[in-house]
Amino acid sequence: MVAMDGPSGTGKTTVARKLADRLSAGYLDTGAMYRVVTLAVLRAGVDPADSAAVAELASQVGLGIGTVPGQPEITLDGQDVGAAIRAGDVTSAVSAVSSVPEVRELLVAEQRRIVGRVLGETGGIVVEGRDIGTVVVPDAPLKIFLTADAAVRAARRSSQDTAAGRKSSVDQARESVERRDHLDSTRATSPLRAADDAVRVDTTQLSIDQTIVALCELASQRGMLAPCTAAAEASR
């Protein structure tokens, strides 16, 4: 089991899915779960700052999330919302929704249930988010905390938004990234931080492929990936 944490723009989602594929393991995007709840809040016309109303609605959300790395489908009441949860309004509101203690308690319990099920089915899983190594699975044998320079993260986020058809300048993306960093790292419940025993991987100067090579080497050191397989990945 691999716990992967880090702020926006570090490449976390992409590399977590690729690492899960290399390990023939399951994959869980916990951030997407908070985004689904946020989307439900917005669609219901609930104020994201109204903690009581958000908590009540969260308990009724029909959230579905896939755990296959190549097909991580995300649904709300049976509807595919993979694109909708990445929209600007959801991104702006997700920190407020995810800071509600009752929401976190509800989703952490569900995340642990999913992790337990997938471990029983496949024997491994890569879980990514912002409190995985500290709260969700603190006993994970490999904890990774991805970091990157704020300017680089902003550029990556701007490129992602543009590719998805959402207009976002680098300056706008940086403002959004830094705002999210501040909110997530200062919230009272499960703040974003590296676990004491997490391995920090700075992706500022690394491509996705180079990051995967580094993570495969870490997995190999923990006995999760054969050394020869890790070496083969490095030579690709």
Does residue 190 contact residue 135 with C-beta atoms inside 8 Å?
Answer: yes
pLDDT (0 to 100) of residue 180: 78
pLDDT (0 to 100) of residue 162: 67
Say if 34 falls within a structural domain: yes
- Alpha helices, DSSP H only, in 1-100? 12-22, 30-43, 51-58, 88-98
Does residue 13 contact residue 164 with C-beta atoms inside 8 Å?
Answer: no
Say if 45 falls within a structural domain: yes
Say if 234 falls within a structural domain: no
Say if 236 falls within a structural domain: no
Say if 182 falls within a structural domain: yes
For the stretch 76-135, pLDDT in tens is 999 999 999 999 899 899 999 999 999 999 999 999 999 999 999 999 999 999 999 999
pTM of the model: 0.87
Q: For residue 35, give Cα distances in angstroms to 26, 41, 107, 123, 220.
A: 20, 10, 11, 27, 32
- CA distance linking residue 133 with residue 143, whole number of Å: 6
Say if 169 falls within a structural domain: yes
236 pLDDT more than 60: no
Give ∠ CA 152-155-156 in degrees, rounded to 5. Answer: 85
Q: How many CA atoms lie within 13 A of 56 on its CB side?
A: 8
CATH number at residue 61: 3.40.50.300
For the stretch 5-63, pLDDT in tens is 998 888 899 999 999 999 999 999 999 999 999 999 999 999 999 999 999 999 999 99
Q: Determine the structural domain holding residue 20 and report its residue range.
A: 2-228
Say if 199 falls within a structural domain: yes
Say if 233 falls within a structural domain: no
**Total count of domains within the chain:** 1
